[in-house]
Structure 1
Amino acid sequence: MLMSNSGTVVAENAPPAESRRRRITLPPLGVQVLIALVVGALLGVAAPAFSDELKIVGDGFIRLIKMTIVPLIFPLIVVSVARMESAKTVGRMATKALLYFEIVTTVILAFTLFAAFVSGIGKGANLGSVDPADTEGIGRSVDLKNLFLHIIPENVFASAGEGELLSILFFAVFLGMALTKIGDKAKPVVAVFDAVADAMFQMITWIIKLTPLAVVAFVAYNTAHYGWDLVVKLAVFVLVFYAAVLVVLVVLFPLIAVVFRVPYVRMLRAVGDLLFLSFVTRSSEVVLAPLIERLDKFGVDRKVSSFTLPLGYSFNADGATMYEGLAVVFLAHAYGVELTVPRLITTLLVLMLLTKGIAGVPSASIVVLFSAGATIGLPAEGIAILLAVDFVVDMARTGLNVTGNSLAALVIAKSEGRFTDRTKAADPVAEKVEV
């Protein structure tokens, strides 16, 4: 205790008067996003001209996120591979992940094609005419040979500049494996990459705080620019897609969790706000860094999540796979193209190939949809019509992609013995309910 000049007794370690003032506490990020969602929708209706100009705010936010993706992904992959016991461990984990991705996406695709065919979605739809400008440049297919060669970078710095994720992953894995072979000489390099990754996490933490502002801009722009007339016209397609997404979330994913004995429901609780954030912003990149951290706190070894999640972004697009399958059948029915069993099987095989590793291709969904549609004679004009409601569908598509990749990281970690459920001790119900 100290005596002040005025004779007042003051605690020796008393904080300054400013720090004793009540601080303004913001609601959780999820609540802020919900408020922003409402504000954006109201703004889009009340001031469409102003809202149409807000796209620059949303685009700026996405650019901030993308600015950190390559500097984050590259060191994370290098460090996670370099710290593994051997190249055999890397190969085993990659094999497990790719096999899991192929099986799950194929099951989702088969389910989607079957459900869409049986329901007859698109039959009798009057899609009307389209502006030829909307389909300009859409008539191109995927060259699988070039796509394969594109994975191997000619210039890794050019690939980094273009944000080509597959090429970056390829080089990062090779570099990480090389570092495992040079022993102690690799330690300073690994330490630098580790520090860079931590710095990127900190940058993204700052950027994420701008999310509510970006959500206002996104929602206001979409509401003002697209309106809801065409959404209502294609409401059946949108509703069926959302219903299919719900089936995967509440039936297929829980079944996978039961098979692999992983806590799916508790994982959703741990990352639920990030899933909602990806849903609203329609961007998987926005939540990549915080998702790795959240899964780490949940009990997934960061070596696994840092390796599996970026790989899943290219090879495990569950939502995109479902969308492509549903869109092909919808357009076939709408344009009167007969879907025979051979045509359905052909569509299944084409989509199985094209939806893998194409995430880095510009306008990937357009390219895949056109290529698959061309195999059964679909006109390109219909694709432009569906793109008009893509902003609605893309929210669920992105949310499902992120959920599927989170589950994949959990499954691979469990299979590698690198998952420790840190929520069991805090949740008495968890002892009884595994899923």
Structure 2
Amino acid sequence: MTADLIVPPAPRRARRPWFRSMFFWLVLAIVAGIVLGAVWPDVGSSMKPLADGFIKLIKMLIAPIIFCTVVLGIAHVGDMRAVGRIGVKALIYFEVITTFALLFGLAVGNIVKPGNGFKIDAETLATGADAVAEKTGDGELPHTVDFLLNIIPTSAISAFAENQLLQVLFFAVLFGLALAKLGQRAPVVISVIDQSSHVFFTMIGWIMKIAPLGAFGAMAYIIGQYGLSSLASYGKLIACCYLAAVLFILVLAAVVRVFAGVNLWKFLVYIKDELFIALGTASTEVVLPRIMSKLSFAGCSPTVTGLVVPTGYSFNLDGATLYLSICVLFLAQAMGVDLSLGEQLTAVLVLMLTSKGMAGVPGSSFLALSATVAAIGHGAIPVAAVALLLGADRIMDSMRVSVNLIGNCVATFVVANWEGELDRERMRLVLDGRPVPPLETVDALTGRPEILPEEEGLPRVGV
């Protein structure tokens, strides 16, 4: 081979100084929040408005970003059958993986037995019903039919005004299909939505600069409000849940490697900022826009990303289902009850239904557990026993949100590859930190390729 045919590997992008990276400031903020909450609990508890303000800033942009992303993706694909295939494949994957998460949680709970030796406070059980009612606002999980009907918004405006993501997604799919049907007769509408999406992502970039402040406020509040003593009281349960989370992530790593060729460790490095923001604020919604952008940049088609990620936020709560199945066994073991295999399978069937309507419902984990305990019908486990988890539930948020977030990213890669909409070469370059060409779209007015401008705070050349 002649020398002039040898192409040297593309150089890695020069990294910014460590003290200027978002990752450094997020870690520093989380550690500072833990210290403040532990040393000065009252001061730490007062930091909650910092987290609430940051989360509200992000949430005000989530609905329009989902709308723009989904509409543009469907309009450019122009194939109604492809949209239907993506939706069906996503739902099949969600059902398989969440059912596995429930069974996996039961297996870990049966082996570790987190409830054995737990000291039950009779007074806690006596006031348990009131405590759970206060936590859930006397609400209840929607029934399956109600949940499905609620996906249809009362009006297009109400879906955005109430920030109902599934309703926004439903309206966006219909709107995108209508634009695809009209084709070149509605170029101005597509162009306006396209430019609006750039505006919204630029705003997200500005807001994300204060992410460390939000993470600091959230962590200071959690530790100040609940205290480190909760870690000791529920040590075995917490250790069991986090062990299950780590093992389940390893399973996800195998799934995404086999079915999409993705190295999960490299992907986690790629989204480390978003992962720490979700961990610090105990919310996956705050990183939804950036995760969608990063998945698209890493080779998943915008259409698949726009459909799978928002839907997964309601139908693919891997971390929450894992936690719930372990907690069912914890309650039984804490009450000295040995659940039969049939009763455990009954719990799985109930949780398969209740876990799908959890998103956006206050205290949803307690409502799901209450319904499950009642369905098992074991008189030795009172529904009020769910109150035993009040002291540990908030500490479990970091486990739930991390597994939920990773699970939805894995789902996007798997469905994209299943649909033939994953650019594997681009994915490998991005996850290796190599330079890649900017993403291209199609200009709605000219029909010619258009290079997307760099959006503030979002990736353009690798990590």
State the TM-score bracket (shorter-chain normalisation). 0.7 to 0.9
Give the match's secondary structure for 1:356: helix
Of residues 132, 141, 155 in structure 2, which corresponds to 1:135?
132
Amino acid at match of 2:85: R
- Which residue pairs with 2:3 in the alignment? none
214-223 or 262-271: bigger deviation: 262-271
Evaluate the alpha carbon distance shift between residue 236 and residue 77 of structure 1 in structure 2; reply closer, same or farther with a 3 A threshold. Answer: same
Pick from 390, 394, 400 the counterpart of residue 393 of structure 2.
390
Matched, 1:62 2:55: yes
CA distance in structure 2 between the aligned counterparts of 1:80 and 1:397, rounded to whole angstroms: 29
Structure 1 residue aligned with 2:349: 349
CA offsets per residue over residues 157-208 of structure 1, 9 Å max, x none? 2232211222221121112112211222232222222222222211111111
C-alpha deviation, 1:279, in angstroms:
1.5
- Cα deviation, residue 357, structure 1: 4.4
> What letter matches 2:131 in structure 1?
D
Give the corresponding residue for 2:299: 299
Q: Which residue of 2 aligns with 1:12?
A: none
Q: Does 1:105 align with 2:98?
A: yes
Distance, in Å, in 2 between the alignment partners of 1:429 and 1:41 is 32
Which amino acid in structure 1 is aligned with residue 189 of structure 2? V
Q: What is the DSSP-based 3-state SS (H/G/I as helix, E as strand, rest coil) of the residue aligned with 2:382?
A: coil
Q: CA deviation at 1:127?
A: 3.2
Q: Are the equivalent residues in 2 in contact too, given 1:237–1:330 (CA < 8 A)?
A: yes
TM-score (norm 1): 0.88
1:83 aligns with 2:76: yes
Give the Å deviation of 1:244: 0.3
Q: Distance in 2 between matches of 1:360 and 1:226?
A: 23
- Going from structure 1 to structure 2, the CA distance change for 1:33 and 1:76 (only over 3 Å counts) comes to same
Distance 1:211 1:78 in 2: 28
Q: TM-score, normalised by structure 2?
A: 0.82
1:34-75 deviation per Cα after TM superposition (whole angstroms, max 9, x unaligned): 111121122123322222211111111111111111121122
Paired with 1:163 and 1:415, the residues of 2 have a C-alpha distance of 30
1:401 to 387, 400, 404: 404
Q: Which residue of 1 aligns with 2:174?
A: 174
**Contact 1:215–1:281 (8 Å) recurs in 2:** yes
| One of 11, 22, 25 as aligned partner of 1:32 | 25
Q: Distance in 2 between matches of 1:426 and 1:315?
A: 28
Asked if structure 2 preserves the Cα contact closer than 8 Å seen for 1:328 and 1:373, the reply is yes
Superposed displacement of residue 345, structure 1: 1.1
What corresponds to 1:283 in structure 2? 283
Which residue identity does 2:76 align to in structure 1? R
Check if 1:325 corresponds to 2:325: yes
**CA contact 2:112–2:240 (8 Å) conserved in 1:** no
- For the residue of structure 1 that corresponds to 2:271, the secondary structure is helix
**What is the CA–CA distance in structure 2 between the aligned matches of 1:428 and 1:399, rounded to whole Å?**
22
User: Following the alignment from structure 2 to structure 1, what is the Cα–Cα distance between the partners of residues 111 and 430?
Assistant: 45
CA distance in structure 2 between the partners assigned to 1:204 and 1:270 by the alignment:
18
**Contact 1:142–1:367 (CA<8 Å) still a contact in 2?**
no
1:263 matches 2:262: yes
Residue matched to 1:253 = 252
CA distance in structure 2 between the aligned counterparts of 1:427 and 1:199, rounded to whole angstroms: 27
For residues 373-414 of structure 1, the C-alpha deviation after alignment (integer angstroms, 9 at most, x for no partner) is: 221244343333313222221111101111111111111111
Match for 2:64 among 49, 64, 71? Answer: 71
Residue 25 (structure 1) shift: 8.8
| Structure 1 pair 142–369 and aligned structure 2 pair: CA distance change class (3 A) | farther
Alignment of 1:204-223 (within 5 A): 204-223=204-223
Where do 5+ consecutive residues of structure 2 fail to align?
1-15, 435-463
Structure 1 window deviating more from structure 2 (131-140 vs 157-166): it is 131-140
Q: What is the Cα deviation at residue 101 of structure 1? A: 0.8
Between the aligned partners of 2:17 and 2:77, the Cα distance in structure 1 is 44
Question: CA, structure 1 residues 186+387, in 2 after alignment: closer, same or farther (shift >3 Å)?
Answer: farther
Q: Which has the larger radius of gyration?
A: 1
| CA RMSD across the alignment | 2.3
Instruction: Judge conservation of contact 2:270–2:431 (CA < 8 Å) in 1.
Output: no
For residue 10 of structure 1, what is the aligned residue in structure 2? none
